[in-house]
Every structure is written in C-alpha cells, then in structure tokens.
Structure 1
Amino acid sequence: MFRLIFMLCLLSQFALHADAVRLNSSSSESLLNADTTVLRQLLNQETLIRMSVVKNVHNLMKDVVTLKDSMTSLQSEVISIKQKSKDEKDYVMKELEGIKRQIKLLNETQMIFEENLKKQNSSGLNLLNMLESSQAEGRAFQTDTLKSLEEVKKNNTDELSDITMQVRVLSASLMRLNEHVQQQDDSFHERIENNYKAASALFTNVSINVQEKTNASLHDLMSKLSETKQNQLRLSAAVLSLEWFKNNITGGVMESSKKRNAPIAFTAGVTGSDHYWSSGILVFPTVLYNTGRGYDSSTGIFTSPEDGTYVFYVTITSYNSKSIYVDIIKNGLSKVRAKAYSSNQSGSNMVVLSLDRGDKVSVNFHSGRGYYSASTPVTSFTGFQICCF
C-alpha cells in the first residue's frame, strides 16, 4: 500500500515537471530538444511505473482475496469453537446439576444415617447389657457343664474299664473253649449253653449300660464312645462265635469240620486317604486275609462262594472336619449305615446277612466327602461266614 502511494507521488511529480517543460518550450529551441529527450525518458519511466503499479495492485487484490478467505475460515472456526464451548458449558452445567442432586441425596442419607446411628447406639447399649447378662449366664452354664462333663467322663472311664475287663474275660473263655472242646464229656453241651446264656446276659447288660451312659455324653467324648461301639461289635461277634460253636457241637459237626477247608473270611483295608471320594463303591485294595477267595480287591465286591450266614463289619474314618456316610450293600440294597464326622473320627457298623451263592456285598458311598486312612489301615472292611446251609 505504501509502495503504491509512493509511485503515485512520483507520477504527480513527473506530470508537474512535464507541464513546466511545455510552458517553457517557447523560450528556447535549444532547451526544447533537451526537454523532449527528458520528457521521453520520463514518459518511459511513467509507463514502467504504471505497469509496476498495476502489477502491485493485482498482487494486492490477491492478498485481499486471500485475507478474506482467511477471515471467512477464521469466522467458521470461531463459530465452531463457540458452539463447542456452548455444548461443553451445557454439559458442565448438567454435570453440576447432577452433582448438586447427589450432594443433596448424600446430605439426606447422612441425616438418615445419623438418625439410625443414634437409634443403634441406644439399642446397642441395651444389647450390651443383654450380652453382659448372657455372658454371666454362659459362664455359670459353662461351670455346670464342666462339672457334668467331669462326672460323665469319670463314669464313662469306669464303664470302659469294665467293658475291657469283660472283653478280656470273654476272650479267655473262648480260648479255653477252643482248647478243651474235644476233651469235654456229655456235660460239655450244658456248660456251653450256660456260657452262652451268661455271655448273652453279660452282653445285654453291657449294651444297656453303655447306651445309657453314652446317650448322656457330649461331643468331646466322641472318640471314646466310638471305641465303646467297636467293643460292643466285638462282643456281638464273640456271642455269634459262641453260637456257632454251640450249633456245631449240638449237630455233631465238630468231627467233620476238621476235614473241611478254612472258613470263608476276609479283611481288607485302605492305606491312604482320599479327601475327594464322593461316589460309587469304596474299594479296599490292601487284603490282609482272604480265604475262600470271595473278596475282589480290584472292585471292592465280596461275592458269596456258597450259601450261608455271613457277618460283615465296616469301619470308616472321616477326613479332617468333613463327614462321611457309607452303607453295606447287598445286591444293590442298603442294609446298614456307618457314619463318621469331625476331626478324623471313626464310625463302624455290623450286619448279619443270609447269602446265596453269587450274592454280592460291598461298601458304597451314601453322603459326605472323603475318608482318612494310614499305612496301617484305619478304614477297613471285614466279612466271614458263621454258618452254611
């Protein structure tokens, strides 16, 4: 722009100078030629200047158009920025309104919480008083319970000692019977009958006493009660053995029994624990005794080799604090159930079954999970024949 103004000023000066030259042309011919030459030069310079001015004007117009385009773009961007600012402002205002509502709700919740806290504090005081009274009653009850437990423990210890002594006496009686069974006279049958009746009465009295004592005991005496139950089952087996001896002697089978093979019997156990076992047949792979080949250690199933009366006995031990229930099964039907629960406790049960040849007996899962055993089996399965048909 300044360059254009400068060029216009030059053109004005040249025009003034040309006018002055024309006015003074009449004064001197010698100066005319010189002025003519100068005028031509000036005219040539003016033409050049005009062309330069036109060129600059065109460039200036282009710059103006470019500036207008830039202004239009800037205006669009400004409008876009204003719109974004407006949208962001609306969004922020909405967020602020939501935050205000949340703050209001929080204030209301806080007031409600403070009211509930006051109510809970008042009820907590009452509860604390009740708790203190309950604790006092609990301490009194605990003292009474400990005294009762001491008395029950003392009674059970005495009872267990009596049972152990009675088992020893009964075992000694059985040994004496086995040693002298062939040396007895006609009164042997009568003595056996008397011993059988005495053992049966002793077993009945012991069972009644043990049942009365054990029903009054608590969870802390479960292990001793389990041992008592096993002693009862051993007494039952001893009584059944006495009955077998009586039947054989009465029927005159003692002589022929010498010619027979060993009786059908087995004992098998588990030498490891399995805390995941929860279905199917419990297989006892470690065979301790198996005459008659009735028990299959690969399947855990006893198959009766011949008709007869059999006794089966199972002992199951729980795994840690889990419980486990198992059944003695005959041909798919449950006959008796043994249970064990909490802290590796043992449970046992026994059953007398009449079997035909080919009947199958096994120990099956009923409920619970897992069992415990050791290298010397504490989970075991036993069966033996007491009479044949």
Structure 2
Amino acid sequence: MNVSVTCIILLAAVHLSVSQPGSEKPAFSVSLAYHQLPNYGGQVARFDTVHVDIPGHSYNTGTGVFAAPEQGTYVFNVSALKYLKGNKMFVRLRHNNKDVASLYSDSAGNGQNISHTVILYLERGDQVWVFLDTNGETEDDCGLNGNGYSTFSGFML
C-alpha cells in the first residue's frame, strides 16, 4: 500500500474517532523536522513536530515515547524516509522494550521510503516508540530524513 494512502486512511480514522463530541479517543501524529542518524548501538527516534496529540502529552517529544493514556486497541504507523549516510536503514517499532515491527532498507541512494502499520492491545501506561537500530554495524547505516518526511502516528480504535 502506498504511504500516502496509508496516511490518508490513518488520518480519516483519527478524524472519525475524534469528531464526535464527547467521544475523543487517544490519538497522535508526529513528524521529524531534522535528520537523525543512529548512535552506535541505536537510539530512540525523537520526532519533534507534533501535529495531533489527544488528550495531550501522550507523545513525549523529549523522549520520543508514546504512553497509552488508557487501555485499549491501538493502531500505529511508522513511515521512514532514508537519509543517506550509507546503504542500510534499520528501524524498529517497540512496545515496552519488545520489537513488534521491523523495517529495513538496503538499497543504495537517498530517498528510500519504508513503512509499517501494526495493531496492538495496550494497557494504560504501556509505551511505544520508534528505534533507530544499527543492527551491529557502524559504517553503513542510514538515518531518518527530516523535513516532515518521516512520521510516527497512532490512535485508539
């Protein structure tokens, strides 16, 4: 599925879930303004531009972590545009320190896009984040392209 179609579907679902008065459910959408390269051993991606955060403060731009404000079933989407440093890009979606999705690109050239959507059941306080992994390699890894091209979003069904 095309990334723009995935984003449209996600935004429509968020809109439907928050457009009914009194029925606002947790939802967030963030993007990256600046390029991020993984440190040796990897790091949490800190998306710095918040587009939506309902009920507010569920996604922490300082830590890069979404904390579920209530238990329920959530949909998460990661879309990563490769920032050229090398050929390989490793991105993981983590739930409470467990990998729930892995994204990988090894094609040469800048501008490669990878994405993944998952559905998870979360307890209140559970944490979900995007992890830039080096997969044990140091010289051939790529990071996330900023300028709004790399995104992370989620919402409760």
- TM-score, normalised to structure 2, is 0.77
> What residue is the counterpart of 2:149 in the other structure?
378
- Mapping for residues 196-275 of structure 1, pairs under 5 Å: 228-230=1-3, 233-234=6-7, 237=10, 241=13, 258-260=21-23, 262-275=24-37
Residue in structure 1 matching 2:114, options 336, 347, 350 = 347
Query: Which of residues 332, 336, 349 in structure 1 aligns to 2:97?
Result: 332
Would the alpha carbon gap of residues 315 and 355 (structure 1) be closer, same or farther in structure 2, given more than 3 Å must change?
A: same
Q: Look up the match of 1:285.
A: 48
CA distance in 1, matches of 2:121, 2:88: 30
State the AA in 2 paired with 1:336: A
Gap change, CA 1:374 and 1:280, over 3 Å in 2: closer
Larger mean CA deviation between 353-362 and 314-323 belongs to 314-323
Q: Structure 1: which 5+ residue stretches go unaligned? A: 1-227, 249-256
Partner Cα separation in structure 1 for residue 153 and residue 77 of structure 2: 5
Amino acid at match of 2:142: G
Q: TM-score, normalised by structure 1?
A: 0.34
CA RMSD of aligned residues (A): 2.7
Rate the CA distance shift 1:277–1:384 in 2: closer, same or farther, 3 A. Answer: same
Q: Find out whether 1:315 has 2:103 as its counterpart.
A: no
Gaps of 5+ in 2: none
Q: Is the 8 A contact 2:132 2:143 kept in 1?
A: no
Q: Percent identity?
A: 24
Pair 272,235 (structure 1): closer, same or farther in 2 beyond 3 Å: closer
Q: Structure with the greater relative contact order (CA < 8 A, sep ≥ 6): 1 or 2?
A: 2
**Partner SS for 2:44:** coil
Structure 1 contact 316–339 (Cα < 8 Å) conserved: no
CA distance, structure 2, for counterparts of residue 326 and residue 288 of structure 1: 22
Shift of 1:372: 3.8
Contact 2:36 2:146 in 1 (8 A): no
Residue 285 of structure 1: how far off its partner (Å):
1.6
What letter matches 1:281 in structure 2? V
Code of the residue aligned with 1:230 in structure 2: it is V
Contact 1:317 1:340 in 2 (8 A): no
Return closer, same or farther for 1:372/1:331 CA change in 2, 3 Å cut-off. closer
**Relative to 1, partners in 2 of residues 1:317 and 1:234: Cα closer, same or farther, differing over 3 Å?**
closer
Q: CA deviation at 1:234?
A: 5.0
**Cα separation, partners in 2 of 1:374 and 1:362, compared to 1, 3 Å:** closer
Q: Please tell me whether Structure 1 or Structure 2 has the larger radius of gyration of its CA atoms.
A: 1
Q: Is the helix fraction higher in 1 or 2? A: 1
Distance 2:36 2:145 in 1: 8
More moved, 328-337 vs 358-367? 358-367
SS in 2 for 1:288: strand
Residue 280 of structure 1: how far off its partner (Å): 2.1
| Aligned-partner Cα distance in 2 for 1:343–1:354 | 36
What amino acid sits opposite 1:272 in the alignment?
Answer: Y
Deviations 1:19-56 (A, max 9, x none): xxxxxxxxxxxxxxxxxxxxxxxxxxxxxxxxxxxxxx
Could you tell me how far apart the structure 2 residues matched to 1:336 and 1:370 are? Answer: 18
CA contact (8 A) 1:277 1:371 kept: no
Number of equivalenced pairs? 144
